[in-house]
Amino acid sequence: STSGLCLPDPDWASYTLGVFICLSCSGIHRNIPQVSKVKSVRLDAWEEAQVEFMASHGNDAARDTYESKVPPFYYRPTFSDCQLLREQWIRAKYERQEFTHPDKQEPYSAGYREGFLWKRGRDNGQFLSRKFVLTEREGSLKYFNRNDAKEPKAVMKIEHLNATFQPAKIGHPHGLQVTYLKDNSTRNIFVYHEDGKEIVDWFNALRAARFHYLQVAFPGASDADLVPKLSRNYLKEGYMEKTGPKQTEGFRKRWFTMDDRRLMYFKDPLDAFARGEVFIGSRESGYTVLDGLPPSTQGHHWPHGITIVTPERRFLLACETETEQRAWVEAFRKVVDRPMLPQEYAGECGRGGGGGNPTPPGGCDIAGRLSPSSGSPLQA
């Protein structure tokens, strides 16, 4: 078995570690030849001693050795994660042996971290070096516009923080998107570090801080309850067209992000704030997703429509290709088919997060149907 990092039936192997790996991981192993030497199971010649070594070791034995002390908050990548996360996991495990020697976990488990990251300017789009400070004791991540600045430019509460790697969107292989609540609206910032280990250490330090915050907030919860809440990858992102609430305006192209039960939309993928968001509840609460648009709909350029039916109204969206439409419908239906948790009903009525109460494990951090800039839902 290959732990989710590799696709099933891997046909490569590290004959120095005694593990079977997929083609994608074999490329990463090749970059650490002092630790791992790889061969194709089918295409390369194997010496008898190498075959015996593989037979007496194997993936389960390697996991018992090299993953004996993985902290519960540490992100375990799968084959669908970006190259950076997969590479740093393999290096942490075999090259640096961080999960056999807990003292090597200091950079992300100490509860305090400071350093410089390249941060994208909100208005000009330029990346500039900014000092970041993560302090678990204060429950916050801060950044400063100048090294000597006394006051931070922003204070992001760990309670309402998410981080997800977005290399394609940010245009850098180490690009990380951090979201937090500012004045009850979701705010995005985009950062990277040239050193892959450094940015992954930041990511796991943020997860560690959230893990410890949730442990205090929910003393009865198990690690298994808390770990899925440490950071969220988005269910789907991409361009669609949308129309306004009266459905008489023309359709406009917007960048959409499906984050748990919140469908947010932006003029540009790297905008700091969403133009609006739609809460998507469950089937039992009166939400459904339909293929296509009502016959009378006009003003959309893209041919492949989707109608989201909520208890109050219908939202009309259009996709450029049938493939995109199918992928979005599948993502929406996954959300609609999932029963709502009690705490999500509170989010449905407006925005959570204003009163400082932690969200129970299982709920989204915030949810709401109102757009940040006014009370009208799904404005342009």
Q: Is residue 364 part of a domain?
A: no
Same domain for 214 and 152: yes
pLDDT-derived band at 3 (thresholds 50, 70, 90) equals low
Q: Identify whether the C-beta of residue 290 lies closer than 8 Å to the C-beta of residue 307.
A: yes
Is pLDDT larger for residue 5 or for residue 293? Answer: 293
Q: Is residue 356 part of a domain?
A: no
Same domain for 65 and 141: no
pLDDT reading at 93 higher than 70: yes
Mean pLDDT of 138-162: 95
pLDDT-derived band at 76 (thresholds 50, 70, 90) equals very high
Q: Identify whether the C-beta of residue 304 lies closer than 8 Å to the C-beta of residue 316.
A: no
Same domain for 118 and 49: no
Q: Identify whether the C-beta of residue 335 lies closer than 8 Å to the C-beta of residue 356.
A: no
CA–CA dist 125, 317 (Å, integer): 28
Among 31-45, 63-77, 300-314, 345-359, the range scoring the smallest mean pLDDT is 345-359
pTM score of the predicted model: 0.87
Half-sphere exposure of 205 (CA within 13 A, CB side): 26
Same domain for 194 and 124: yes
pLDDT-derived band at 368 (thresholds 50, 70, 90) equals very low
Mean pLDDT of 301-326: 95
Percent of the chain with pLDDT over 70: 88
E strands in the chain: 12-14, 19-21, 38-40, 112-120, 127-135, 140-144, 154-157, 162-165, 176-182, 185-192, 236-242, 252-259, 262-266, 276-279, 288-291, 304-309, 314-319
Beta bridge partners of 161: none
- Sign of the C-alpha dihedral computed for residues 234, 267, 287 and 362 taken in this order: positive
Q: Which of 204, 226, 248 is the last residue of a domain?
A: 226
Mean pLDDT of 357-372: 35
First to last CA, the chain: 49
The pLDDT score that the predictor gives to residue 183 is 86
The pLDDT score that the predictor gives to residue 315 is 94
pLDDT reading at 238 higher than 80: yes
* 3-class DSSP assignment, residue 325: helix
Q: Is residue 359 part of a domain?
A: no
Q: Look up the domain containing 336 and give its range.
A: 236-348
Mean pLDDT of 78-92: 95
Q: Is residue 289 part of a domain?
A: yes
What CA–CA distances, in Å, run from 378 to 245, 258, 368? Answer: 7, 14, 11
Mean pLDDT of 312-341: 95
Q: Identify whether the C-beta of residue 205 lies closer than 8 Å to the C-beta of residue 134.
A: yes
Same domain for 66 and 115: no
Choose among 217, 188, 191, 216: nearest CA to 202.
191
Same domain for 140 and 93: no
pLDDT-derived band at 365 (thresholds 50, 70, 90) equals very low
**b (16+ CB within 10 A) / e for 6-34:** bbeebebbbbbbbbbbbeebbebbeebee
Q: Which of 49, 79, 102 is the last residue of a domain?
A: 102
pLDDT reading at 248 higher than 90: no
What total of structural domains would you count in the chain?
3
What single string gives the DSSP state of each residue in 339-376?
PPPHHHHHHHTS-SSSS-PPPPTTS-S---SS-TTSSS
Contacts 24+ apart (CB under 8 A), 307-314: 308/263, 308/278, 308/280, 308/332, 310/278, 310/279, 310/280, 310/281, 310/286, 311/281, 311/285, 311/286, 311/287, 312/377, 313/245, 313/377, 314/247
pLDDT reading at 271 higher than 60: yes
Same domain for 178 and 203: yes
What CA–CA distances, in Å, run from 182 to 91, 156, 166, 187, 355? Answer: 36, 8, 21, 6, 13
According to DSSP, the β-strands at 112-120 and 127-135 are: antiparallel
Token duo for residue 372 = 């940040």
Is pLDDT larger for residue 103 or for residue 182? Answer: 103
Mean pLDDT of 283-299: 93
pLDDT-derived band at 148 (thresholds 50, 70, 90) equals confident
Q: Is residue 282 part of a domain?
A: yes
Q: Which of 226, 249, 268 is the last residue of a domain?
A: 226
Token duo for residue 354 = 């204003």
Mean pLDDT of 136-144: 97
Q: Is residue 380 part of a domain?
A: no
Among 4-13, 49-58, 362-371, the range scoring the smallest mean pLDDT is 362-371
CATH number assigned to the domain comprising residue 171: 2.30.29.30
The residue type at 380: A
Beta bridge partners of 238: 256
pLDDT reading at 1 higher than 60: no
* 3-class DSSP assignment, residue 241: strand
pLDDT reading at 92 higher than 80: yes
CA–CA dist 287, 133 (Å, integer): 41
CA–CA dist 97, 81 (Å, integer): 21
pLDDT reading at 348 higher than 70: no
Per-residue pLDDT tens digits for 22-62: 999 999 999 999 999 999 999 999 999 999 999 999 999 99
pLDDT reading at 369 higher than 60: no
The pLDDT score that the predictor gives to residue 5 is 78
What CA–CA distances, in Å, run from 236 to 20, 201, 283, 333, 349? Answer: 31, 25, 20, 12, 24
pLDDT reading at 263 higher than 50: yes
What CA–CA distances, in Å, run from 374 to 22, 33, 280, 291? Answer: 50, 57, 19, 29
pLDDT reading at 374 higher than 60: no
Other beta carbons within 10 angstroms of residue 286's beta carbon come to: 11
